[in-house]
């Protein structure tokens, strides 16, 4: 995930924590926070809404931590754009949406990047509508619809 490029300025979780340690989070200029699935999660208690987008990165579709991290980001009140990046399977889109993600930057074998908006992905063949009754999809405000 090191070669990810965004048009906006990014900050990693380590850099975020460094700013927080120096009591300098108010000086934050980046608009995208990049969260690897093995990141320390102290950033969740910070002012997440200062960034427009949070990107959770995972190389492996089996790394189920991104589901919990997405959910925690929303449950901590994040209202911005939440994206997951990795070799994600279409079969995971529904669960991702329910965990608060809005889109997937899917990296396939030829390194082409494909953006899938999860609310539209649900109509793809073979991907069924919500298969759970205990959770409504989390919205950008972090609350149930």
Binding residues vs another protein (CB under 8 A): 41, 61-65, 67-69, 71-72, 75, 89, 91-92, 94-96, 98-99, 125-129, 131-136, 144
Task: State how far the Cα of 16 lies from the Cα of 48, in Å rounded to an integer.
Answer: 10
- Which residues lie below 8 Å from residue 97, measured CB to CB, with a gap of 6+? 118, 119, 121, 122, 137
| Strand order across the beta sheet in which 53-57 lies | 10-12, 32-36, 53-57, 81-86, 103-107, 113-117
Smallest distance from the beta carbon of 31 to another protein, in angstroms? 26
| Closer residue to another protein in complex, CB, 32/88 | 88
Closer CB to another protein, 33 or 37, in the complex: 37
Nearer to another protein, 28 or 34 (CB): 34
Radius of gyration of the chain from its Cα atoms, rounded to whole angstroms: 15
- Min. distance of Cβ 99 from another protein in angstroms? 5
CB of residue 13 to another protein, shortest distance in Å: 14
């Amino acid at each position: 995930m090191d070669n990810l490029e965004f048009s906006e300025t990014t900050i990693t979780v380590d850099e975020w924590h460094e700013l927080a340690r120096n009591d300098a989070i108010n000086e934050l200029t980046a608009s995208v926070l990049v969260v690897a699935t093995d990141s320390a999660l102290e950033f969740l208690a910070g002012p997440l809404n200062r960034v427009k987008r949070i990107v959770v990165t995972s190389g492996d579709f089996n790394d189920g931590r991104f589901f919990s991290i997405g959910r925690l980001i929303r449950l901590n009140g994040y209202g911005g754009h939440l994206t997951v990046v990795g070799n994600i399977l279409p079969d995971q889109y529904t669960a991702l949406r329910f965990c608060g993600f809005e889109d997937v930057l899917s990296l396939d074998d030829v390194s082409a990047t494909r953006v899938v908006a999860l609310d539209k992905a649900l109509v793809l063949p073979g991907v069924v509508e919500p298969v759970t009754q205990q959770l409504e999809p989390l919205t950008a405000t972090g609350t149930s619809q």
